[in-house]
Amino acid sequence: MYFHSPTQGRLSFKEAVISILNFIREEPQFHYRLIIGTDSRETDDSPPAQLFVTAIVIHRVGWGARYFWRRTRTHSLYTIRDRIYQEALLSLQISQKLMDFLDSFPDNHLSNYNVEIHVDVGNNGPTRSLIKEIVGMIEGMGFVAKVKPDSFGASRVAHRHT
């Protein structure tokens, strides 16, 4: 599993996590937010495919951020409901993998943070009926769920690469 960084290029998952840890170690006195979000779109390929981009963001509150993203593609066609669920599931998978990996580091500085999962749903538009379901699923897994307009990890960062 590889991620891309605007500043570091292509990184393995492990290298991306180590980069996040190093970012925090540079300025440990600041407050950090660990954010994971996924966005998707249908491609113009023939046959059509769905493109999903998952982003991991480490936000040094008030002082910038770093992010890492990965792209996956499927040839399955999704309804809007299926696509939103798939976005949430991809974010949950990365979040769980991240937390499992971090547990192997005794001094990881991230165990003090709640992982936020940003989902591309909001009170306006066709996704509003999915908010309770998606948020309930994410919170039931032990993560913090954020929806629009507070879900920039999905609606801004991941969207930039779809």
Domain range summary for the chain, segments of one domain joined by +: 2-161
Beta-carbon contacts of residue 108 (< 8 Å; ≥ 6 apart): 21, 102
As a whole number of angstroms, the distance between CA 162 and CA 150 comes to 19
The predicted model gives 5-24 an average pLDDT of: 94
Q: Are strands 65-74 and 32-42 parallel, antiparallel or unpaired?
A: unpaired
Q: What is the pLDDT of residue 67?
A: 97
- pLDDT, averaged across the chain: 90
| Cis-peptide, bond into residue 47, ω within 30° of zero | yes
Burial class (CB in 10 A: 0-12, 13-18, 19+), 35: buried
Q: What is the rounded distance in angstroms from the CA atom of residue 6 to the CA atom of residue 123? A: 31
pLDDT single digits (tens) 101-146: 877 766 665 556 678 999 999 998 888 999 999 999 999 999 999 9
Backbone φ, ψ for residue 5 (5° rounding): -125, 135
pLDDT at res. 49: 87
52 by Cβ neighbours in 10 Å (0-12 / 13-18 / 19+) ranks as buried
Strand-strand pairing, 50-60 and 65-74? antiparallel
> Over the stretch 37-59, which tens digit does the pLDDT of each residue have?
999 998 887 778 899 999 999 99
pTM of structure: 0.92
- Per-residue pLDDT reduced to its tens digit, 47-90: 788 999 999 999 999 999 999 999 999 877 678 999 999 999 99
